[in-house]
Structure 1
Amino acid sequence: MDYSIYSLSLCIALPLMIFFGFYFLLARTPDKAIFGNYICSRRIMGVAMLLLAANYSVHFFYGIRFKNVNAAILMNMSTYFLCYWLFSSALTTLLNRFYITRRRLLTHIGLWVLFSVLSAIVLFRLPEGIAQKTGLFAMATWLMIYGFVLARRLILAYRRAVKIFDNTHSDNIGAYIRWLSVFTYWAVVFGVGCGLLTFLPDKYIYVWILSSIPFYIYLFHCYQNYMLFYEKVENAMESEIVSEDDILCEADTAEDAANDMPSCYAEIAESIKGWIEDEGYLRPGLTIKELADTLHTNRTYLSGYINTSLNTTFRDWITRLRIDYAKQRMTNHPEQKIAEIAEASGFMSQSHFMKTFKDKEGCSPAKWKKAQKNIHNSQFIIHNS
């Protein structure tokens, strides 16, 4: 049998895995305390990468797949189980700094040991045939369910973070962590696929090795880009932690305050009306806490008013105000450039303004501006005819 493709795939994948692993462990980051969580996440990811690299090395240098298939399957399944935990922990830590605890660590290590021991019993103690195949199917099912559970936990953490950002910040902070959601779904497909490919005939095993290359390149690229936005995201998370503490301090009076909600909302509505007239929503980086301080009200009440009375999130509400302002400005000042309109309307950048405008209006600002000009010209012709 010709194993040249198998060896070539390992030659390509192994150096990349070693490079990524050591880079995640040793690469420098900005010397700021706020990056501590990012460093922790990246180091966990580095350990996962080097663990996979060690797995690849055993396959490459010892050809274990072709000497003892059962030993190779056991090594792969045990490695994947542990890496599932490391990958999910690294990514979840970016969204929840309190995720890794001593109890959780011991629990997952215990599960990994138990899974590895039971897999060894199935592969080396059960007789070949129906019994062993049934045992392997059970272990593979356990591995896949474990991966799905960890992925679900990460997705829930991601959605919670996006909900927090949408209800507390005017800028689309969630866009900075969207790669976590994309990567998680990709990781589920790839992880489950690798688990299944472990049982493929020898001549096809190179498929799971080659499929890992774009997967880890994408991960490396995401971590590099995310570092540029991490401080902004972490600051947003930190401000929310403070806000939660404030809410807890007010818990004793929450029941009495609930009875005053209608009158409270009426006062908030009146205050917001004046704030909108003063165009306070144009300030970049606006947060709900800052707006609550400006309106001399409680952040919890303000959030409740926006969510229930306006039936929207804080971010979507501010975005709509800014889009309407931008449309008015483009109508009244057609000579202004899109970049000037974006800046004047409180958006983070021209690209962010253009994307948001298209999502809300169904066309680009330039097309909307052109359409308005055509409408104005048509009305002018009709008026003069």
Structure 2
Amino acid sequence: MDLTVIPGSRIVEVARLAFATPDVDFLCFGESDQPSPASACAAAVQALADGETRYADVRGLPALRTALAGYLTRLHARPVAEGRIQVTASGMAGLSIAMAAVLRAGDRMVVHDPIWPNIPNAARLRGAAVDQLDLVAQPDGGFRLDLDRLDAMMAGARAFILNTPGNPTGWTATGDELRAIRDICRRHGAWLLSDEVYSRLVYDGRAAAPSMLDLAEPDDRIIVCNSFSKTWPMTGWRLGWLVVPEGAAEAFVNIVEVTHSGVAPFIQRGGVAALGDGPAVEQFRAYCATGRRLAGEALTGLNGVRYRPPAGAFYAFLAVDGLRDSLDLAKKLVTRHGVAVAPGVAFGPAGEGWLRVCFAQSAALMERAMQRLRDGLRAEVGS
């Protein structure tokens, strides 16, 4: 049939195998085993009881837009006006809407690699050509972005998509790096789409990672995407938002109208409650920090494994020396050792030779699963 086809997810491929295999610990999805905040659940239930099930303002409920503007203004160095907020049906929907606004068939977009595969695939669905800039792997298992190479690649490009803190690497750009990225995009007249869904999940004592919202002028060609999925955690709620340039809101409203026509009001009420629940954010970050510590302890001392605890997000991304087929290894870890992790190749060519572990899990699950991973790596690759 004459259909548009994009590559299937290698993460889903591993997960389907794990679902069909008894007694497997799941560390392959970008999702915690923690429940959503009770405050958000109660607010959504109350909204349903109050009959908030009709069409809502496509821009988002005024209460949610106002709460988001206040939250972002308190969190970042520059104020964010309510009129620049567009509520979306998930962070991924927000990115897709941003691409619909910015990209045309034949445009060229630059992304860094490794990166969540939905991002470049969404650009390809718009008919854009995607150029992938490899993050530079460091000897200790960390990463950096080569700003000179980015500058060279942005010549003639329509947009750059930045994900920091990053999935799968945990790479987190510094304020100076963000300023340089902004300036590069300005020089080339390119749009900058900044995916900041992991912005609150940092482990150095800061409230949030450095953000384009700390630097961007209201009229910069910068769109910032975020979501309730990771910070609170509320993955199944499918609730996100965009911060768009001043004066551009109406264009985004119209794209949302023809894309998903807004977000259910009872879902948005849960978002309002989550924004007001400060302890929920701190508690979840502490939960992830425990998982991060356990992952680090388990991976220490494994021969042939390079790993540095990430600055942000909730993934351990580990390099396995000599690994040429991370998908095959991930499948063997499921069927032979009872642990499901994501193959690095799922995140682009630069991810081959790596594995991603989601450590946003209970201590009991992490201890058991990481022992299985250690045993599996020793058996399969001699680590």
Smaller-chain TM-score bracket: under 0.3
- Higher fraction of strand: 2
- Higher fraction of helix: 1
TM-score, normalised by the number of residues in structure 2: 0.27
TM-score, normalised by the number of residues in structure 1: 0.27
Q: Which has the higher contact order (CA 8 A, sep 6+)?
A: 2
